[in-house]
Amino acid sequence: MDDLLERLRAGLPAEALLTDPDVTASYAHDMASFCEAGTPAVVVLPRTVEQVQHVMRTATALRVPVVPQGARTGLSGAANASEGCVVLSLVRMDRILEINPVDRIAVVEPGVINAVLSRAVNEHGLCYPPDPSSWETCTIGGNIGTASGGLCCVKYGVTAEYVLGLDVVLADGRLLTTGRRTAKGVAGYDLTRLFVGSEGSLGIVVGAVLALKPQPPRQLALAAEFGSAAAACDAVCRIMEAGHTPSLLELMDGTTVRAVNAMAGMGLPETTEALLLCAFDTSDPAADLAAVGLLCTAAGATEVVPAEDTAESEMLLQARRMSLTALETISSATMIDDVCVPRSKLGAMLEGTAAIAEKYGLTIGVCAHAGDGNTHPVVCFDHTDADESRRARESFDEIMALGLGLGGTITGEHGVGVLKKEWLARELGEVGIELQRGIKAAFDPLGLLNPGKLF
């Protein structure tokens, strides 16, 4: 331990090292509740690539595990410390190095906040679409590590689709550059994509070339109320089958709607069983919304309310964005699931989730990126009640089993981390896990990078 600190100090300014146990303890975990976390030996906050290389060389020399962190807004424990590790926080490497409107790229350091980048590129008439709910605080490096999604994905895809190239410090401190600054490129295996979603287990991302898009018109939304989740899911299928390309297609169940109203007095309709939000950022969004409104009515919507203007649309989005936070206020504890199914199975997923809630006698509120079939069932429980906690865990698992049975995945966008590592093997199977381990061994033969995550 003394040796570790001494060696780290040799290549880092004093302000880059945190060793006070009260301070380092605050870096022990991300936003996932109930995931195991160890105590870091030290927290390092580098400002340069060379400093990151020094940390990794030191860690390799001393065989000390390293856990990379962004803003720790993750929901699966992927950034949780392991016992005695070096926490490597990239938040101070937060420069936007380039925004190029002709090449439509940005070159950034990993600690840049998603919203800061978004606003910076907006000034050039560009947009960086990936928008996880935590976009005001989460970092691009964290988004890359967890392959974040967001509300925009139904039209604009996920983080992975915007990462063109990376600078990565490997476990042994060597610097690897992957990918490209070009629109296309197929030179060798796609290492860039391999790092996206790897949860810091293959290397430390210290720089990224990101693709940008022209800024679309501001979106216009509508809200449709339904008497059942099944009817809302039917509407989702009709909208997608008809060939629409909404910029947002979100679902909040009755529990979620009431939780949002209780928290923020949003004035959403209290009696609805499912609220569907749909938006378009096309050249004529009102026309697109009118067509979607008819499809909602045909699917059984009890009311269809187009937003008056973009401000009212933004208010609806805000309501959706605060869904998880609002559901967390219902009980002393929550477990947030992230099952994604083919959208044709969304109705079955929601019905099955309701049945699981009833079976275990729990409240499970669901909000969903409905257009992607990506549901976030939030299991609410009293963590001081041992039996209720057990039922919560079992229902959480049963929701994943339900999703896999419907041809889905255990995680659409939150990642595996600590929370779902037992489940990864169930989804991928023996052959898949063996190959994943083979890749891990090729990149990190000593197993020092974020150990105990994913597998």
Please name the residues in contact with 69: beta carbons below 8 A apart, sequence gap of 6 or more: 27, 30, 79, 87, 88, 89, 90, 91, 142
Nearer to its own copies, 258 or 345 (CB): 345
Span from 39-47, 100-108, 112-120, 265-273 in contact with its own copies (CB under 8 A)? 100-108
DSSP state of 34: T
* Distance (Å, whole) CA 273 – CA 255: 8
- According to CB under 8 A, which residues from 19 to 78 bind its own copies? none
Span from 27-35, 48-56, 151-159, 298-306 in contact with its own copies (CB under 8 A)? 151-159
Q: How far is the CB of 27 from its own copies (least distance, A)?
A: 24
Q: How far is the CB of 376 from its own copies (least distance, A)?
A: 12
Under rule CB under 8 A, residue 411 binds its own copies = yes
Q: How far is the CB of 386 from its own copies (least distance, A)?
A: 30
Q: How far is the CB of 381 from its own copies (least distance, A)?
A: 25
- According to CB under 8 A, which residues from 268 to 297 bind its own copies? 282-284
Of 8, 16, 31, 105, which one interacts with its own copies (CB under 8 A)?
105
Under rule CB under 8 A, residue 197 binds its own copies = yes
Cβ neighbours around 31 below 10 Å, total: 19
Please name the residues in contact with 278: beta carbons below 8 A apart, sequence gap of 6 or more: 221, 222, 224, 239, 246, 248, 249, 250, 289, 292, 296
CB–CB of 145/215 below 8 Å?
no
Q: Which amino acid appears at position 377 of this protein?
A: P
Report the residue count for the chain. Answer: 455
Span from 91-99, 177-185, 301-309, 320-328 in contact with its own copies (CB under 8 A)? 177-185
Per-residue contact string for residues 376-405; x = within reach of its own copies by CB under 8 A = ------------------------------
Nearer to its own copies, 7 or 376 (CB): 376
**369: β partners:** 374
* Distance (Å, whole) CA 372 – CA 413: 11
# of chain residues touching its own copies (CB under 8 A): 89
Under rule CB under 8 A, residue 125 binds its own copies = yes
Of 91, 409, 450, 452, which one interacts with its own copies (CB under 8 A)?
409
The tokens for 140 are: 């691009």
Q: How far is the CB of 38 from its own copies (least distance, A)?
A: 23
Under rule CB under 8 A, residue 439 binds its own copies = yes
Nearer to its own copies, 170 or 305 (CB): 170
Under rule CB under 8 A, residue 152 binds its own copies = no
Of 86, 322, 410, 449, which one interacts with its own copies (CB under 8 A)?
410
- According to CB under 8 A, which residues from 213 to 252 bind its own copies? 214-215, 237, 240-241, 243-245
Of 5, 96, 115, 194, which one interacts with its own copies (CB under 8 A)?
194
Nearer to its own copies, 41 or 418 (CB): 418
Describe the strand order of the beta sheet including 333-336 as a list of residue ranges: 303-306, 220-226, 274-280, 248-253, 363-369, 374-381, 333-336
CB–CB of 110/79 below 8 Å?
no
DSSP state of 31: S
Q: How far is the CB of 240 from its own copies (least distance, A)?
A: 6
* Distance (Å, whole) CA 72 – CA 81: 11
Under rule CB under 8 A, residue 415 binds its own copies = yes
Burial class (CB in 10 A: 0-12, 13-18, 19+), 263: middle
**176: β partners:** 168
Burial class (CB in 10 A: 0-12, 13-18, 19+), 146: buried
Span from 255-263, 266-274, 291-299, 339-347 in contact with its own copies (CB under 8 A)? 339-347
Span from 10-18, 49-57, 321-329, 435-443 in contact with its own copies (CB under 8 A)? 435-443
Q: Which amino acid appears at position 83 of this protein?
A: E
Under rule CB under 8 A, residue 451 binds its own copies = no
Please name the residues in contact with 443: beta carbons below 8 A apart, sequence gap of 6 or more: 170, 171, 202, 203, 449
Nearer to its own copies, 226 or 423 (CB): 423
Under rule CB under 8 A, residue 348 binds its own copies = no
Under rule CB under 8 A, residue 171 binds its own copies = no
Under rule CB under 8 A, residue 342 binds its own copies = yes
Under rule CB under 8 A, residue 86 binds its own copies = no
Under rule CB under 8 A, residue 408 binds its own copies = yes
* Distance (Å, whole) CA 446 – CA 171: 8
Please name the residues in contact with 244: beta carbons below 8 A apart, sequence gap of 6 or more: 280, 288, 291, 292
Beta-strand ranges (E) seen in 70-140 are 86-89, 96-100, 105-108, 126-127
